[in-house]
């Protein structure tokens, strides 16, 4: 960065043209900040939608299912009416011992969603052929759908029990999605 006092004392005239805020880099920084504010403004000023947000969704990060999850939620009449948390493994991600900070972050997200949007329902969608289950449990469950459903059911049920302990009034839905987008309810 140029020392403006030295520059002026050397007799190079005023400093406004050479000040950092008037440089091309300074201009680009300000322009970028302005664009960011412009992009955020509609979100910050958008009025609450009719009916509001009453659902918090937890899903896995698996790219193969993002569009299917959105389609499923849209099909339930919840388009743009839910908050969405994404953790590798969904229920397992919120509960695993290898990444305890994920669980802490999940519960913090639940708290803020309840505080800001007054969510009344937690929907948890695990999915078949989940890589996080392979990574964290060292088990490839995809070849045995019955066992896969059982293991996912254990984690889903544990998460539901914890949610009910923390928030007894919170409705919790436990779902399992196939790679084809088909969703089944897991009883708990």
Beta carbons of 55 and 83 less than 8 angstroms apart: yes
Rounded Cα distance between 26 and 103, Å, is 41
Beta carbons of 162 and 110 less than 8 angstroms apart: no
pLDDT at 30: 46
Beta carbons of 120 and 170 less than 8 angstroms apart: yes
Render each residue's pLDDT in the chain as its tens digit; 188 residues: 444 444 444 444 444 444 444 555 554 454 444 444 434 434 343 444 445 799 999 999 999 999 999 999 999 999 999 999 999 999 999 999 999 999 999 999 999 999 999 999 999 999 999 999 999 999 899 999 999 999 999 999 999 999 999 999 999 999 999 999 999 999 65
Beta carbons of 139 and 73 less than 8 angstroms apart: no
Burial 102-112 (b: 16+ CB within 10 A, else e): bbeebeebbee
pTM: 0.73
Sheet holding 183-185, edge to edge: 82-86, 55-59, 121-127, 171-177, 183-185
Q: Which CATH architecture has domain 55-185?
A: 3-Layer(aba) Sandwich (3.40)
Beta carbons of 106 and 40 less than 8 angstroms apart: no
């Amino acid at each position: 960065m140029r020392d403006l006092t030295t520059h002026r004392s050397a007799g190079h005239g005023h400093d406004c043209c050479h000040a950092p805020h008037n440089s091309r880099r300074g201009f680009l920084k300000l322009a970028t900040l302005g664009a960011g504010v412009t992009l955020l403004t509609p979100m910050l000023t958008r009025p609450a939608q009719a009916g509001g947000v009453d659902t918090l969704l937890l899903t896995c990060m698996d790219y193969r299912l993002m569009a299917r999850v959105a389609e499923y939620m849209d099909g339930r009449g919840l388009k743009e009416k839910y908050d969405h948390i994404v953790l590798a493994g969904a229920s397992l991600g919120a509960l695993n011992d290898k990444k305890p900070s994920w669980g802490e972050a999940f519960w913090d997200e639940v708290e803020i969603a309840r505080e800001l949007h007054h969510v009344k329902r937690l929907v948890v969608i695990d999915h078949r052929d989940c890589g996080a289950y392979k990574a964290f449990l060292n088990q490839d469950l995809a070849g045995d759908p019955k066992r896969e459903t059982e293991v996912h059911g254990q984690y889903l049920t544990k998460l539901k029990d914890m949610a009910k302990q923390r928030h007894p009034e919170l409705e919790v839905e436990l779902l399992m999605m196939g790679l084809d987008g088909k969703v089944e309810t897991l009883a708990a």
